[in-house]
Amino acid sequence: MNPDALLASGSTLAQPLIEFGFLMLGLGILARVAAKFGFSPVPLYLLVGLAFGEGGIAPLGVNQSFVRVAAEIGAVLLLLMLGLEYSGDELLGTVKQQWRAGLLDIVLNSLPGVICGLLLGWGVLGAVALGGITYISSSGIVAQVVRDLGWKRKPEVRGVVGLLIVEDIVMAPYLPIVTALAVGAGVLGGLISVGVALLVVAIVLFLAVRKRTMANKLLDANQPLALLLTLFGAAVAVAGVALYFGFSSAVAAFLVGLLFTDEVALAARKGLAPLRDLFAAVFFVFLGLNTDPGDIPGVWWVALGLAAAGIATKMITGRIVAGHAGSHSRGPWRAGALLSARGEFSVVIAGIVAVGPNSPPTLLALTTTYVLITAIAGPVMARLVEPVMNWRERTSRGAGKGAVT
């Protein structure tokens, strides 16, 4: 390449690099603000995407193909890390403990979305997609709120985590179904996709339970860089292969994570956490970038109604979970507040459907607005529960001291 061509190439790259750099800098500032006030940064990332996408206040010229690939990697890492959190034994044990609550959770929380999709005239695809979007809670937001408020030892929190695992398992066959519907694969194609998905899930669960040390032998927890590169590369490659064959890349990444346990999983989670947070931020921004803010006023009241229904049904679910955990007083309110927030999985579903030729026109706008409302409401409700408990605890301690005196 001659010097003139090199200079021309540099000037062409300069603006996208500057814009992307300032975008990431802004996301870093927003993440710090969110951490300071103890709520999830996901709504802020979505708002940034809305502000700087097409139709926003200042559209960026960032290469969409690059951002899309980075966003897909973000979705893969979110699900890979989720798989690394659990072992096959834990998954099966949780299913045995929570299957009744899990079944009620499916009915209660998917029904508002299904009904809304049908009322909007979106057909089977819209109903199935919205049912999944309103069904699944945000594991990421739940984890952050539990850390911020110090609720790890609360009895109902273990039940909430167990229910989240059940929801994640339900996603394994659900995502191939919605993917098949989105691309217009038809009944036969959908059945084949679901059959393959269930077969792959069954094989991975068998390996995770019966051959739990086999995958661990492939990696060495004492070599963190090699472990990081190998696992990251394997997850992205498997996700790509899964997409090629019409399988969900997100579920494929989850299953890869499920194969690794103990020291290997611990080292992988520690090494991959910053990478996940970086690419996940791009993923949420990308969803916002692909949503026209002009579509939001038209779906605002629908999203608000769905959010109100979704929060109410999660409160019922939280009461059931807390009851099984033996938690009383404010425990059901804590569980319901934790489960109310929707986030990463909801936008993953919307992203899968949005790229298909049969996507409902305002699905992304409705999902983005719905996630924004619930992702803000969930942590705020949790905060409202905690001050009440702290006041009661201080009052009871004061009364106890007075009685002793």
pTM of the model: 0.71
| Amino acid 400: pLDDT | 45
Domain ranges of the chain: 78-388
- Of 364, 59, 101, 334, the closest CA to residue 67 belongs to 59
User: Which pLDDT band, with edges at 50, 70 and 90, does 116 fall under?
Assistant: very high
User: Which pLDDT band, with edges at 50, 70 and 90, does 314 fall under?
Assistant: very high
What is the 3-state secondary structure of 385-398? Answer: HHHHHHHHHHHHHH
Residue pLDDT, tens place only, 190-245: 566 666 666 666 666 666 556 555 555 666 667 778 888 888 888 888 888 877 76
User: Which pLDDT band, with edges at 50, 70 and 90, does 399 fall under?
Assistant: very low
Residue pLDDT, tens place only, 331-361: 888 899 989 988 777 887 888 787 767 778 8
Placement of tokens 């191939």 in the chain: 176
| Amino acid 401: pLDDT | 43
- Of 102, 111, 253, 288, the closest CA to residue 175 belongs to 253
Q: Determine the length of the chain.
A: 405
Cα dihedral angle (290, 291, 292, 293), rounded to 10 degrees? -140
Q: Average pLDDT in the 101-119 region? A: 91
| Amino acid 315: pLDDT | 93
Integer Cα distance of 405 and 399 in angstroms: 10
Examine the pLDDT at 296 and tell me if it is beyond 70. Answer: yes
Other residues' Cβ atoms within 10 Å of the Cβ of residue 92: 14
| Amino acid 256: pLDDT | 79
Phi first, then psi, for residue 190 (nearest 5°) are: -65, -40
| Amino acid 89: pLDDT | 64
| Amino acid 404: pLDDT | 33
% pLDDT > 70, the chain: 70
| Amino acid 309: pLDDT | 94
220 with 169: CB under 8 angstroms?
no
Q: What is the per-residue burial (b if ≥16 Cβ within 10 Å, else e) of 146-172?
A: bebbebeebebbbbbbbbbbbbbbbbb
% pLDDT > 90, the chain: 11
Q: Which CATH code for domain 78-388? A: 1.20.1530.20
How would you classify residue 40: left for phi > 0, otherwise alpha for psi between -120 and 50, otherwise beta?
beta
| Amino acid 39: pLDDT | 67
pLDDT higher at 50 or 116: 116
| Amino acid 405: pLDDT | 29
Q: Average pLDDT in the 157-164 region? A: 80
User: Which pLDDT band, with edges at 50, 70 and 90, does 114 fall under?
Assistant: very high
